Structures are given as structure tokens and as C-alpha cells.
Chain A
């Protein structure tokens, strides 16, 4: 799975730590998700999409090999 969290953060001008605080996870967790190493749960994905005010599908996208 790919995601555009990094771009969305740049648009909203917030750091990984800010995003982490907003959804109540650790900064390393955001970093690990951003680098596509960890696929977040649906709950976490929905929380992230709420912060950016966009549907989940705009932020997370299936990869060719998923």
C-alpha cells in the first residue's frame, strides 16, 4: 500500500510529531507508516484522513502487488 501522508503534511504544514499528537500515536509510528513499512489499521487510517479533511482513498492507495 502507498500513501501520500508526506505530501498532505507539506500542504497542511505540520510535522510528523504534530500529526502524531493529533491522532495519539508516537512519532516513530507516523514515520514508519510514511515510509510504507507499516499498514495502519482502518481506525488509524480514518483518523489520519480526518486530520487532512480528505477521504481515505485520497491518502491511501493499493499497490500493484497488494
Chain B
């Protein structure tokens, strides 16, 4: 449908309200076991599986699934808590849910980039904080946290907006950067970064390779994407706001479904690649969906105007 009504958003893609309780029962044990597993080498013996033929130098033959199961439980539980229905769903609660989602993504990535940057600064000056993963690469603890922090921040923000005042909801409007120059700059930077990364994989030019490696390892890679997501289109209106909100919710779902599958498909060092992709995937999904819808409606309007006036 070309025109989507905010009222349709009321109960789109939401779980029944009792899923909130199921979510708690999944997320809390998931978090505790996950913490013990990552920081205290705790493994549940029954979760060993033999990878057999799949064995390659990137992963060991016997894999213990404790970390996979706890991450899956945590992510699934948080998704259930975040996207289960309230007692009374209406257009305003839908708006608040989606505003909170945008807010959570923005805050999450700013904090994530700042934390990564600080971590690398610490390493540079010789102070090494105690971490489970290697320090100063894409396999840092923050990448691991980044798999579920958007959901945690969202849940906190949403329930604050809904419950902080007893009588009314708190209205939060997202502020966007202006189209010119921010959206232009962000688009240019993002596309050239991806072009360089692709060229790095295809050609063997030393200059491109060192540049690509710098980009891949940079803690700031989500920032141009974030700037693209949070800057206005050439003609921003109510309709685009609606497309943004829908696209963000879809991006979160797609991102977590894929993460959930990848969690059980990739082990050992291969999973570090999943962690790297996860740092930008949600933003990438949003940009693809949003720009697709935006350009589709743009061309549709142009066609209609032509049909109505010229022919």
C-alpha cells in the first residue's frame, strides 16, 4: 500500500502481552549464564556438540553451546519484553514505541562508538582494562554487548515514556539533522567506505587495502551510517516519519532474526565476523528499507502527476 495509516501500526508485529513474562524467564537466566560463560569460563556439560566434518582451522571440533544458548535466550527474551502488547494498545503507544526505538538506536551507537574509541585510547596509552575478548579490535566486549544493548535501552526508554507519569504519556520527538549538508555527506562517506571495502576484497592494490583495513578496523564505522539514518530527506513530512518508524521496527526484527540464526551457524573465530557485521547491520537494513520505500513513493508520485497533467 502506498498510503499507510498510523492507526494500522497499532498492533503490527507485536506479541501477546503474556510474552513479557516469558521474556523475563528467558532473558534473566540468559544474562546470568552468559555472564558466567564469558567471564568465568562456565560451560554446561550437556551442551557439547561434535562439529565433525565442519571442522576447519577457524573453529574447534567440539563446540560447547552454552554461550550460544545463553545469547539466544537473552536476545529472544529481550525481544519478547520489548515487543509484547500493552494492556491497551493505541496509535499513541505505537508512536511512543517507535520513537523510543529510534532513540535507543541513536543512543546505543553513540555510546558504542565512544566506548570503542575510549578503549583504543586506553590501549594506546598502555592501560589495558580487563576484558574477555582481545582488546582494540572488532572482537571487543563492546561488540558483544552491542548485540543486545539496543533492546535494553529501548525497553528502559519505552517504559519510562509510558509509566513515568501516571496520568499522561511523555511525548518525545526525535530531532533530525538537516538534509544539506549532513545527509549528502553521510551518503557519500558510507557509499565510498563500502566501495573501498569491496575493492579491497576484489583487487590487490596495496593503497586500497591499507585504506580498507583502516576502515574495517575503525571504531567509528557506524557513525556515517548513523548520520545517514538521522538526517532529513529532501522533503521530510509526516509520511516519511511513518516510513522511518516502520523501517526501524522491521530493521530490528530482521537484524535479530539473522543474528539468532547466525548464532547457531557460526562458531569460534567465524562468530567474530558475525559480531563485526552486527555492529552495522541494523543501520544497513534500515537504510535499505527506508530508501526503497522513499524512492518508490517518489517515483509513484511523479508518475501520477505526469498521468494526471500531461496525458
Instruction: Enumerate chain A interface residues (CB-CB to B < 8 A).
Output: 20, 24-26, 28-29, 31-33, 35, 37-38, 40-41, 43-44
Q: Are B90 and A31 in contact (CB under 8 A)?
A: no
When C-beta atoms are compared, the residue in chain A nearest to B165 turns out to be A28
**15 A-B contact pairs sorted by A residue (CB < 8 Å):** A25-B90, A26-B86, A26-B92, A26-B93, A28-B169, A29-B90, A29-B91, A29-B93, A31-B169, A33-B92, A38-B92, A41-B6, A41-B91, A43-B7, A44-B7
How far in angstroms is the closest Cβ of chain A from B242? 10
Write the chain A residue with the least CB distance to B9: A41
List A contacts of B125 (CB < 8 A): none
Q: Check A41–B7 contact: CB distance below 8 A.
A: yes
Q: Which chain B residues border A43 with CB–CB below 8 Å?
A: 5, 7, 91
Given contacts A29-B169, A40-B92, A44-B91, 10 further A-B contacts (CB under 8 A): A25-B88, A28-B165, A28-B168, A28-B169, A31-B168, A32-B168, A32-B171, A37-B171, A41-B5, A41-B6
Cβ contact of A29, chosen from B5, B6, B92, B165, cutoff 8 A = B92
Residues on B facing A (Cβ under 8 Å): 5-7, 86-88, 90-93, 95, 162, 165, 167-169, 171
A29 closest partner in B (C-beta): B92
A24 touches B168 (CB 8 A): no
Interchain Cβ contacts within 8 Å, total number: 50
Distance between B42 CB and nearest chain A CB, rounded to angstroms? 43
A26-B91 Cα distance, complex, nearest whole Å: 10
Q: Secondary structure at chain B's binding surface: helix, strand, loop or mixed? A: loop
Chain A residues within an 8 Å CB radius of B88 = 20, 25-26
The 9 closest A-B pairs by CB, nearest first: A25-B90, A26-B88, A31-B168, A29-B92, A32-B168, A43-B7, A37-B171, A32-B169, A28-B169
Q: Say whether B167 contacts A31, CB under 8 Å.
A: yes
C-alpha spacing A31/B165, complex, angstroms: 11
User: Nearest-CB distance from B10 to chain A (Å)?
Assistant: 9
In the assembly, what is the distance between CA of A64 and CA of B169, in Å? Answer: 25
Given the known interface contacts A37-B168, A38-B171, A43-B5, the answer about A32 and B92 at a Cβ–Cβ threshold of 8 Å is yes
With A and B bound together, what is the CA distance between A24 and B10 in angstroms? 11
Taking the closest CB of chain B, its distance from the CB of A48, in whole angstroms, is: 12
Residues of A within 8 A of B90 (CB): 24-26, 29, 44
In the complex the two chains form, what is the Cα distance from A8 to B47 in whole Å? 64
Q: Which residues of B contact A29 (CB under 8 A)?
A: 90-93, 169
CA distance A20 to B5 in the complex (A): 20
**Closest B-chain residue to A23, C-beta based?**
B90
Q: Which residues of A contact B169 (CB under 8 A)?
A: 28-29, 31-32, 38
Task: Give min CB distance, B88 to chain A, whole Å.
Answer: 4
Cβ–Cβ contact B168 & A25, under 8 A: no
Residues of A within 8 A of B167 (CB): 28, 31
B93 / chain A contacts, CB cutoff of 8 Å: 26, 29
